[in-house]
Structure 1
């Protein structure tokens, strides 16, 4: 056996034998003879923090990623010592610490090993920058799989891959290109049907090797900072993701319109063109809620200004658009033009808010306005100042939402594409270089934007979009996958990236539908819309260099298909809103990869195409041209084909027909799917009746419908409506129970239930144990009935 001492000659340093142990409530400390301290913190029964110091010295304990309201607490904590190891036990797992090497091994209460160190913690001195390069290596078990890591443009299962986290402006990136716009150093491991998660909370450039260099080793390391990671045990993937999401936080509910369809381009100008686009949507009866103004609305690309030649009266334009149901979203970038006559530049200079280089001068870089300085958003004073800059835009002019782009930060015409590494940052009172602050720069910008927008659109809810993100950014903003390309490969990538982001705790996400760079043909655009309406953030965006990319840009046939799917998006808004409620409140991912839906089925471990939208809708996009159908894997259970009502049994591959106007789409048996009438924008129509599609099942299934005022914060005072439905199907009977919570009064009085797959003819209907006539519930031949919205029990009896 190789000892840690014998390995030191390779340039890496390793902990040696433990010489001291102490406990401070939930924190346990192990100190080695060569000055390594391992601090283990028990956060929950299933969550442990591992933090390592060298030279007996911990760095200040500070994190941008963590949710200050995350749940804490555990039931039991026991520590035992044997001649060779220490054993820490909670009710969910045991952590073994080897006395000679400080290596750890984690097992479940039955003794099954979940995760164990290979070489464990090691480090080497960083001679160029100072400090340490910190490393951790784990044993990869036979058949182990890995998921997560944010927006990586590669296969959903990361086994055999090596990736890194350094937020980067990657225009027209390709498959397997890395790094991209997000740095989310969190992955889920799945071994022997047991899932665990590791979140490496280190903002330096981080690297992950998932059995790439050595097939039996998974490792992660950082170019600086501490070895500081959180271990989360499931054993289900869903529980791991929920615990990680609680640790790093969830967003508040957005306004419902933010879940509607949105149209963008680089760029829509002048004002007459914006209004022309808006009118075309309404003339063609294609629903749309948001219109975007890219950088060309500004005066010389100066943030918080308007080009008055292109937009002479922005307040009136925004008000006119709002009259027709459109919300206006504007872009704001971090680069502030160096211009002594520009008041924001003057103010930032006077207050010393711009980033500086290590030897004194201001950090500057070329972006759209030319030479720019960059605010230090890691300084709380700068964030407060930046938030107040939104007052005129939001409160006075009436802008509805803000889009932060280029916030990696992107810098043009330099090889690094970003700020010099010696750029200094306040880092909330923990001064650092850009090596440490780079990955959180965009996060802190959008945090400031979110605070400003929230303050100045009050009492409405804020809606903010960001391109760059670090773990935890989901608390402040939705995001998209950056400058993709109008190719079929990128349609495949968009599908995989959405699933991966949701596994990574960031569910409010979408792609540039149709592709940002280059031009799609009508078929690709239609197929992308079919996929995009099932993504939480639904926006068409294009560079504009290659032609138009509006829903009507590809001929009448494609326009009709696009309209059909955008209308479906609007019908499904209550289902989508309920998904968001569960994500916000419980950390439930809004999309589920098949492996998350059924990790026990090894067939799901390498699936990339199929996903579960919410909890009860199975979607499988068409990702090849000229397709009339495709093979897809249907997971366990029984599923109704949405288009023809056919019931299929899962657990195997199926061929499904899907011409240009169809996307394979299935509903889980027993599901109750709420729908609204098609409207041209959220709030256009008063909902007079909730439609619920009921899919019969022999057995029990639960469904939920969440509703509120669709904007504002009254829902936090209990003014919401939460309908929990329990469906129980029998051979000659269907029972639906409703459990209602919340004080919000919906605009409708009745619920119309469309019954699918009912195996009997309805002979009698009982509502709350009282028999009612079939005429009273308006029973039609297609098994559609109307019931009062406040019913407690509905019984349908057959012969």
Structure 2
């Protein structure tokens, strides 16, 4: 392993003095007298790319992470030269590059330092592999905090940590274990109430050190490739995350059912077992939309085959499950069994689609089917072939989603758990070794899977889930946090991992509810369900080694809690769908750690447990056994306890009492929360009213609700409904203004309005300036109003 001993290591090399520069449109190139070139590209006023080479020229510029459709263009760019440095100025920041040694610093327009080089760019020759180990070190201020980096199993604030990025199959990983399944070399710095981001777009094994080795130095380095990073200026963390998410891309809307509850186990078979499980969900009235088939559905673990003994007629079974509201999701791994009689293997062999070793033979490794070869998903022809393989599963049999596993890529019975580093890859016409392609292998598999499922599911939307991912994978796939364990510590880890993934651009993520390895107690399972329903991806999954992990594997109380919280998720589906819409439209993360929500409040900088679900619901899981309450931090502003409707003023730590069938939940004052009736699966019910829970606040607050046909692509043609509510609360009145956009006509005709926290008794109600009659007594008994959905202003007047 490379260690980062930058100061002591005698082999480190540095840029010398700058001898020339040229400026072309949005790029400025600086050349030193020892052949280092720095290319600075201004993509937006607050987004600048820094790319270094030590060989006097740049290799082909290619990245799997960058979304080609990301926003370009700046308002202002000025390049000037003074005695000691060059200055690049935009309408947001100014960057100074020292003539003597190419070190750079970035300031805001008020001359405050946002980020500055310590040693800056330097490198060391890699004697083992050739090329360079490329390094960067930045000065770090006291009090600076760091966030991001994907699914790291450690506290949210990374200050003092050293982390490694190398996609690894870490079965039953522990807290602080490194590395894990995903590689997101993007972090957010927060210092002096200003946020910035660094995205180090390098697919080799990378390391990040946040003041671990040296107190005031943050550094990152890679075992090969270029020093190529993007600087993103906030100053709000929201701006940093939105810009990064735009740069690396956003997904399309999932079908609404994919936001329902999913049930999975290794493995449900034969067919009678699958039917038994699905029937039990309906019998117990616990909503569920998806059932998963793990590797045992295949014939000898061969991908794209069915075990005819367990599943004699998969098309009929999938169709019958669908009639009962269950969408079938199947697993597909990258390892293709070496078997001359197996059509997928034969075709890949004939077309030369498998990865090869440097000296010619195919890469061979042991996975579930035994000896396997592995497709090279970095080859566009292989991706196209792989996409075509999904025709039977999706078009003919009717499977609705595909789950990619083992794609780090994982190989059994070898010490490094993966391919040898000399394996060759096409890398979309930029041939390279596995050292460079390893971290993006899983993403390219998920990409090929996505294109296949999308092609054959059309006109419906695809659903893909992956275990391994690199920055940008969110364009194609959802993900989960891998093989966790049924422990309280892992419940804490899951809470942090999903928050961190959310601010690292990969919002559609969840954990294996209840833990994959080992068996949870009923209490742990209940507490995990209570957290999991507030994660964008919501699935129970277990290894099955230790018994069952369906809700009914526990006692009646746990079944009731599971039903209560899954029901709540299904009621909140329009709220969750709206969160997703804002994520894909504006790059706003679906879960917001408290520091993201309010970075000005220093109290939030080290909080791990609490998060804001969407924009208006504060969630705090119970993470310890036998707890009937906990201390938590409520962010600034006015909030209502969801269970009691009691109003609380935020900006402080409080003790919150709860019961076993509750966790601390708070709703922001002024919010309009949309709710559907409880359904056993998405689309089960037709309903004539949308419930709106309106929480009173003195002053103004805005809420939005996005809806469409819940599947398909009509929303891209303007067939959606986007409602903007503005609530204005005064001492003796509440005004609710509604603005509508879009061409989708929702199936309901009325709003059922619950008014919560009104500080006055209602005297009169006006709809669009017309007084309506209402029964005071029935309102006080039922506490809701029914209003036609076509209203534009609702005026509630107090006595």
Tell me how far 1:9 sits from its aligned partner.
7.6
2:750 maps to what in 1?
750
Cα contact 1:777–1:785 (8 A) shared by 2:
no
Asked if residue 520 in structure 1 is aligned to residue 520 in structure 2, the reply is yes
**Partners of 1:458 and 1:640 in 2: CA distance:** 43
**Partners of 1:394 and 1:770 in 2: CA distance:** 53
Tell me how far 1:239 sits from its aligned partner.
0.7
1:267-306 maps to which residues of 2 (within 5 A)?
267-306=267-306
2:716 maps to what in 1?
716
Instruction: Write out the 4+ residue segments of structure 1 that deviate beyond 4 Å after TM superposition.
Output: 6-9, 775-778
**Partners of 2:791 and 2:211 in 1: CA distance:** 55
Distance 1:777 1:359, change over 3 A: farther
2:623 maps to what in 1?
623
1:68 maps to what in 2?
68
1:180-199 maps to which residues of 2 (within 5 A)?
180-199=180-199
1:750-769 maps to which residues of 2 (within 5 A)?
750-769=750-769
**Partners of 2:762 and 2:283 in 1: CA distance:** 43
Asked if residue 113 in structure 1 is aligned to residue 107 in structure 2, the reply is no
Cα contact 1:731–1:759 (8 A) shared by 2:
yes
Aligned residue-pair number: 794
1:366 maps to what in 2?
366
Tell me how far 1:618 sits from its aligned partner.
0.3
Partner of 1:320, secondary structure, is helix
Asked if residue 676 in structure 1 is aligned to residue 684 in structure 2, the reply is no
Asked if residue 49 in structure 1 is aligned to residue 49 in structure 2, the reply is yes
2:89 maps to what in 1?
89
1:478 maps to what in 2?
478
Task: Report Cα offsets for 1:402-439 as digits up to 9, x if no partner.
Answer: 00000001000000000000000000000000000000
Distance 1:8 1:153, change over 3 A: closer
Task: Report Cα offsets for 1:203-238 as digits up to 9, x if no partner.
Answer: 000000000000010000000000000000000001
| Cα root mean square deviation, aligned | 1.1
2:3 maps to what in 1?
none
Partner of 1:10, secondary structure, is coil
Tell me how far 1:779 sits from its aligned partner.
3.7
**Partners of 1:741 and 1:363 in 2: CA distance:** 54
**Partners of 1:775 and 1:724 in 2: CA distance:** 28
Asked if residue 532 in structure 1 is aligned to residue 527 in structure 2, the reply is no
1:362-401 maps to which residues of 2 (within 5 A)?
362-401=362-401
Task: Report Cα offsets for 1:710-732 as digits up to 9, x if no partner.
Answer: 00000000000000000000001
2:261 maps to what in 1?
261
**Partners of 1:570 and 1:142 in 2: CA distance:** 45
Task: Report Cα offsets for 1:125-158 as digits up to 9, x if no partner.
Answer: 1111111100000001110000000000001000
Task: Report Cα offsets for 1:543-594 as digits up to 9, x if no partner.
Answer: 0000100011101111001100000000000000000000011000000000
Task: Report Cα offsets for 1:71-98 as digits up to 9, x if no partner.
Answer: 0000000111101011111010000000
1:426-505 maps to which residues of 2 (within 5 A)?
426-505=426-505
Higher mean C-alpha deviation, range 421-430 or range 122-131: 122-131
**Partners of 1:651 and 1:768 in 2: CA distance:** 37
- Point out where structure 1 has 5 or more consecutive residues left out of the alignment: 1-5
Cα contact 1:255–1:462 (8 A) shared by 2:
yes
**Partners of 1:683 and 1:782 in 2: CA distance:** 27
Partner of 1:526, secondary structure, is helix
1:96-175 maps to which residues of 2 (within 5 A)?
96-175=96-175
**Partners of 1:777 and 1:618 in 2: CA distance:** 33
Cα contact 1:8–1:14 (8 A) shared by 2:
no
**Partners of 2:169 and 2:522 in 1: CA distance:** 28
Give the TM-score of the pair, scaled to structure 2. 0.99
1:3 maps to what in 2?
none
2:695 maps to what in 1?
695
Tell me how far 1:8 sits from its aligned partner.
10
Distance 1:784 1:7, change over 3 A: closer
**Partners of 1:673 and 1:552 in 2: CA distance:** 31
**Partners of 2:85 and 2:714 in 1: CA distance:** 54
1:230 maps to what in 2?
230
**Partners of 2:262 and 2:14 in 1: CA distance:** 53
Asked if residue 584 in structure 1 is aligned to residue 584 in structure 2, the reply is yes
Task: Report Cα offsets for 1:350-389 as digits up to 9, x if no partner.
Answer: 0000000001110010000000000000000000000000
Tell me how far 1:778 sits from its aligned partner.
7.2
Distance 1:9 1:763, change over 3 A: closer
Partner of 2:31, secondary structure, is strand
Cα contact 1:17–1:32 (8 A) shared by 2:
yes
Asked if residue 340 in structure 1 is aligned to residue 345 in structure 2, the reply is no
Tell me how far 1:659 sits from its aligned partner.
1.9
Task: Report Cα offsets for 1:428-458 as digits up to 9, x if no partner.
Answer: 0000000000000000000000000000001
Partner of 2:679, secondary structure, is coil
**Partners of 2:245 and 2:790 in 1: CA distance:** 34
**Partners of 1:642 and 1:561 in 2: CA distance:** 16
Tell me how far 1:57 sits from its aligned partner.
1.7
**Partners of 1:462 and 1:9 in 2: CA distance:** 50
Tell me how far 1:781 sits from its aligned partner.
3.5
**Partners of 1:555 and 1:567 in 2: CA distance:** 18
Distance 1:293 1:193, change over 3 A: same
Tell me how far 1:55 sits from its aligned partner.
2.1
Distance 1:276 1:87, change over 3 A: same
1:233-248 maps to which residues of 2 (within 5 A)?
233-248=233-248
**Partners of 1:499 and 1:447 in 2: CA distance:** 24
Task: Report Cα offsets for 1:598-645 as digits up to 9, x if no partner.
Answer: 111111101000000001000000000000110001110111000001
